[in-house]
Amino acid sequence: MLSQFSFDYFFWIVALGTMVLGFTSGLIGTSLVLEKQSQLGDAIGHAVYPGVIITFMLFQTRNTAILLVGAVVFGLIAFSIIQLIRRYTDFPYESILALVLSAFFSLGLLLYNVVQRNPQFQTVNFAGLNNYIMGQAAFLMWSDVRLIIIVSVIVVAVFMLLYPKIKLYLFDSIFAQTIGINSQWISHLLLLMCLLVIAVGLQAVGAKLISSMLVAPAIAAQQWTQSYGKMLGLAGVFGMVAAFIGTLLSTAISNIATGPMIVVVLTAIALLSLVFGTKGILADKLYTSHKEVSR
């Protein structure tokens, strides 16, 4: 009975953390999809990893809140470098993202190797640092989940508070500028919120997969509605449902990692939505066929 209670307790701790993360990621990820910046999320997701390692090297602690600060700082540095290269060169945007992604992530792996081999860090528990690459949601502690909840509440509250301005910026940034909305400020705020979600989700999903948590729910939601408000709600629900199902399946099936399983479920939801959604492939074909018959 006690072991069953313990199993249930730890399952719900992990499920709560991933579900909150899934909801917030889906909500914030809509801005990346609508701005056609999905690849930026992937680049920054990889770029924050060296920030985690450097923060660990400086403070020699695995406190999630402290490592989160380092991750956000390096995410901002990566974004700034992307913008500078984009401004002063003619390189294709996709090439710039790929360059920054690979450079920062390689730096993170190199620094992790330094930590492994340096006697100075042998007295500190660094074993869990590699979990930030692929994620290890099954080992989330209540302190980690609490941080996810705190960051998510702040991000969602700010997003909803500024919802009218954000909506106007996403759909008509020029008009937003003419009526006094600072589009650049909104853009930077959305970036910061994405960074916070990426940083807080690293331990659960990992640097390699966190962008999927942002993009897949939004892509799925986009296939069901033209309303931005409904898209937000659907993206959050899809992210939350996928997180719960992924956590449940990874618990029920031995040797299955939670983070990748969540992303697999999210991908399945996105693919099904692309086919069966009211704006999906089948709906488009049916509409085209009906139009031809009407003629």
pLDDT digits (tens, 9 = 90+) for 126-180: 666 777 887 888 788 898 999 999 999 999 999 999 999 999 999 988 888 888 8
Query: In percent, how much of the chain has pLDDT > 70?
Result: 91
* pLDDT, tens digit (0-9, with 9 covering 90-100), for 53-93: 999 888 888 888 898 999 999 999 999 999 999 999 998 98
CB 195 within 8 A of CB 76: yes
Residue in this structure with the two tokens 């449902």, named with its chain if needed: 241
Residue in this structure with the two tokens 């959305």, named with its chain if needed: 190
Query: In percent, how much of the chain has pLDDT > 90?
Result: 55
Angle formed by the axes of helices 142-161 and 163-171, to 10°? 70
Angle formed by the axes of helices 2-34 and 228-252, to 10°? 150
Q: How many CB atoms lie within 10 A of CB 246?
A: 27
Q: What is the mean pLDDT of residues 105-129?
A: 79
pLDDT at 169: 92
> Which of residues 184 and 285 earns the better pLDDT score?
184
pLDDT-based confidence at 212, cuts 50/70/90? very high
Q: What is the mean pLDDT of residues 210-217?
A: 93
Angle formed by the axes of helices 183-205 and 258-276, to 10°? 130
Q: Quote the pTM value.
A: 0.88
Residue in this structure with the two tokens 């294709």, named with its chain if needed: 92
pLDDT-based confidence at 252, cuts 50/70/90? confident
State CA 77 to chain mean position distance.
18
* pLDDT, tens digit (0-9, with 9 covering 90-100), for 264-276: 999 999 999 999 9
Sequence-distant (≥ 6) Cβ neighbours of residue 282 within 8 angstroms: 275, 276
Cα–Cα distance for residue pair 68/78, rounded to 1 Å: 15
Alpha helix stretches (DSSP H) within 35-162:
38-47, 49-59, 64-88, 93-117, 131-134, 142-161
Cα–Cα distance for residue pair 62/259, rounded to 1 Å: 20
Quote the CATH superfamily of domain 2-294: ABC transporter involved in vitamin B12 uptake, BtuC (1.10.3470.10)
pLDDT at 160: 95
Cα–Cα distance for residue pair 21/205, rounded to 1 Å: 10
Name the residue ranges covered by the structural domains of the chain.
Answer: 2-294
